[in-house]
Structure 1
Amino acid sequence: MKNAVIVNAKRTIIGKKNGVLKNYSPEQLAAFVIEDLTKDLNEPVDDIILGNTVGPGGNLARLSALESGQPCTVPGLTVDRQCGSGLEAIRLACHLIQGGAGDIYIAGGVESVSASLFKSRARFSPDDIGDPDMGIAAENVAEKYGITREMQDEFAALSYQRSLDSFDKGYFSEEMVRVANIPLKDEGLKPELDYRRMLKRVSPCFKKNGTVTVGNSCGVNDGAAAVLIMSEDKAKELNLQPVLRFVDSSVTGVDPNYPAAAPIPAVSKLLSKTNFSIEDIDLIELNEAFAVKVVLFAQAFSISYDNLNPEGGAIALGHPYGASGAILVTRLFNEVQRMESNYCVSAIGIGGGLGIAVLWERVT
């Protein structure tokens, strides 16, 4: 079985809904990333796999491939596992390489909520089971597991501070491709804002007397991210240095009323099938759709926040649904080159009660 490795990873800035990226279609956003990943590649990729959640429908990956100037011979596949779509695309590409289907893939995701044609989300679950909006579902998890607002705000404040620190150090610009003349700064990050004061002042936004606020949850965003994945033999042939090696992955389901809990069984299953323990994992990137998700995850595995999203995350930067899973992997790709991390995990919880987890090994 072939080894799948990541040799490059890039993303656009993360823009607010109707913000600086509003005039770019999803295929244009994806094209900026695809063009950057392939600019020095001397042979065509076998396929481009992109995740997308809110449309506009059709085979967006093929459209993005053509928009980016790829040869007409390069196909495209669009996948939808809701806000896990970008990570699912990467997972799928890795397994395809393992199985011998191809040697070079671009995989990731893209979202433009600004350009979406749909006024409301698709259904996650049948009504008789429960189909809560994500904010209410986060409140459900907080209530069920006793996660207080203070606990959520504590982590949110940490996410904001870590993101500001990473921005000041130039870490995020290393991940980014330029979109026209737009500055390399995520639109939602505001260095001038007193985030701790803000967290104390905002009210619950999904449920009266609830615990989830605009301060301890993510925004609604536009953006794209993707990685260049190869078989390890192909990377060696092309004299490209791999950074992350795919080890294994898992997908699980939970009650759709509690999707923020889904990364826990996904990671547990992944650790079990690979004979790893949580202590073997040096670095974890977990999507911060809601702080309650991260707080519960840390409690479930009895870990601190030290190696969990150490450079910030979606609470501060935003959550462009279909791209967010690929942003997690792009972040890991850059983090492991700065940190002493041998094994790392990217994980995400998904509307409808799904969780995805992927285990990576740093290539030394």
Structure 2
Amino acid sequence: MKQVQDAYIVAATRTPIGRSHRGFFRNMRPDDLLATTLKAALAQVPNLDPKTIEDVVAGCAIPEGAQGLNVARIAAVMAGLPVGVGGITVNRFCASGLSAVQMAADRIRVGEAEVMIAAGVESMSMVPMGGNVPSFSPNFFVNTDNVDDYGIAYGMGLTAEKVATQWKVSRDDQDEFAYKSHMKAVAAMKAGDFANEITPIEVADRSVDLASAEVSIKKRSVNLDEGARPDTTVEALAKLKPVFAARGSVTAGNSSQTSDGAGALILASESAVKRFNLQPLARFVSFASKGVPSHIMGIGPIEAIPAALRYAGLKHEDMDWIELNEAFAAQSLAVIRTLGLNPAKVNPMGGAIALGHPLGATGAIRAATVVHALRRKNLKYGMVTMCVGMGQGAAGIFERV
């Protein structure tokens, strides 16, 4: 067996996150978005010989349409990587991007690669949740009393309602959590805390003059996430009606936003770091994925976090920064309360309720957030964790070096 070696993150970046359908990336193809992000990550390591990159692993939750075929390989070619660099698209729904990081790190850790790229991309503007033509085998629902137990047939929101009921998370608490997510995100933007992790992206806005039939194109650079609302209030959130259950508590305001975005990290072995004089940003420490009942898929991190900590030989008190993907306020609060996480360490710059959740890209995006936050704040350990549709949880741990 080959000796295990460490995998270091030497570059980490992401796009701003745009609102789906009406946002600034609504007309930008996801393969173009991913290719642009790969180029941005490579620009952070000018000394690296691209020919040493073994593979590009990219997560995508709904790999069809404009982000179908093998979007990882397509984007690698479009980014100008050497033809010898491979590409594979992986899917663990919302944890696809984080799983891409884990897979890339593991190739290095077992000695099969010296340099890898991990990434994630999702355009919910071009490919809706569930895909354009969802098709479920009838056998998939055998031995279930309720088809929404799988959380994909009738919507994730029903699973959040079940978590809210079972874990006794009130509507008031959900709205307060959502409000704080927006306020933390707005404060972080004003402080410039996202600057190091975000690569500005140029977008083109097109308009048509009906009288002359002429199309005008205006280009602009976007450098901040689009979803945070500085003017929201708890009172405004409280007025929103439930969208998944008539007498429920889960609303559009205390749920994550559908979004577009991409993220990319470059990982290298210690020998590659020395050979190319690279600056390691963080070390990949551990990863865990665990299954949970699908009808309460939001509690996935309750099982995945302890496992990732156990593999790392750490305790949750050792975590200085935790990026807990806010699929819903209900499941976020259930996880925080059940595990006894310190709320001050969870999503200090806001989460998906304010910043957005481009499904398969989120894991890579939040990994970039953790890597840069640890360095900016001179902290040691950070974690990315999330629930996953159909009943899974995932967690990855990083250490600043």
Q: Indicate the TM-score class for this superposition, using the shorter chain for normalisation.
A: over 0.9
CA RMSD of superposed structures (Å): 1.7
Q: Which amino acid aligns with 1:27?
A: D
1:310–1:317 distance in 2 versus 1, CA, 3 Å: same
Q: Which secondary structure state, in structure 2, belongs to the residue aligned with residue 310 of structure 1?
A: coil
What is the CA–CA distance in structure 1 between the aligned matches of 2:377 and 2:41, rounded to whole Å? 23
- CA drift of 1:194 comes to 2.6
TM-score, L = length of structure 2:
0.87
- CA drift of 1:97 comes to 0.5
- CA drift of 1:159 comes to 0.8
What is the aligned counterpart of 2:188 among 154, 166, 169? 166
Stretch moving more, 314-323 or 120-129: 120-129
Query: Which residue of 1 is the match for residue 48 of structure 2?
Result: 42
1:123–1:299 distance in 2 versus 1, CA, 3 Å: farther
- CA drift of 1:358 comes to 1.0
After TM superposition, list the pairs within 5 Å mapping 1:25-104 onto structure 2.
Answer: 25-39=29-43, 40-44=46-50, 45-54=53-62, 55-56=64-65, 57-104=68-115
- CA drift of 1:41 comes to 4.4
What is the CA–CA distance in structure 2 between the aligned matches of 1:143 and 1:155, rounded to whole Å? 17
What is the CA–CA distance in structure 1 between the aligned matches of 2:136 and 2:323, rounded to whole Å? 27
- CA drift of 1:196 comes to 2.4
What is the aligned counterpart of 1:21 among 5, 19, 25? 25
5+ residue gaps in structure 1? none
Q: Which secondary structure state, in structure 2, belongs to the residue aligned with residue 347 of structure 1?
A: strand
Alpha-carbon displacement from aligned partner over 1:301-360 (angstroms, at most 9, x marks no partner): 223310011111110011000100111101101110122421221111100111111121
Q: Which amino acid aligns with 2:87?
A: G
The answer to whether the 8 A contact 1:123-1:131 is kept is no
Query: Which residue of 2 is the match for residue 126 of structure 1?
Result: 140
After TM superposition, list the pairs within 5 Å mapping 1:188-267 onto structure 2.
Answer: 188-191=227-230, 193-267=231-305
Matched, 1:337 2:375: yes
After TM superposition, list the pairs within 5 Å mapping 1:265-280 onto structure 2.
Answer: 265-280=303-318
What is the CA–CA distance in structure 2 between the aligned matches of 1:308 and 1:232, rounded to whole Å? 30
- CA drift of 1:120 comes to 5.8
Matched, 1:106 2:117: yes
- CA drift of 1:8 comes to 1.4
What is the CA–CA distance in structure 1 between the aligned matches of 2:198 and 2:348, rounded to whole Å? 18
What is the CA–CA distance in structure 1 between the aligned matches of 2:77 and 2:165, rounded to whole Å? 47
Query: Which residue of 2 is the match for residue 291 of structure 1?
Result: 329
- CA drift of 1:58 comes to 1.1
5+ residue gaps in structure 2? 203-219
Q: Which amino acid aligns with 1:28?
A: D
Count of residue pairs brought into register by the alignment: 362
Alpha-carbon displacement from aligned partner over 1:135-165 (angstroms, at most 9, x marks no partner): 1111111111111111211211111111000
What is the CA–CA distance in structure 2 between the aligned matches of 1:273 and 1:174, rounded to whole Å? 30
TM-score, L = length of structure 1:
0.95
What is the CA–CA distance in structure 1 between the aligned matches of 2:98 and 2:268, rounded to whole Å? 16
What is the CA–CA distance in structure 2 between the aligned matches of 1:113 and 1:86, rounded to whole Å? 15
1:123–1:278 distance in 2 versus 1, CA, 3 Å: farther
Q: Give the share of equivalent positions with the same residue, in percent.
A: 35
Query: Which residue of 1 is the match for residue 222 of structure 2?
Result: 183
What is the CA–CA distance in structure 2 between the aligned matches of 1:64 and 1:122, rounded to whole Å? 27
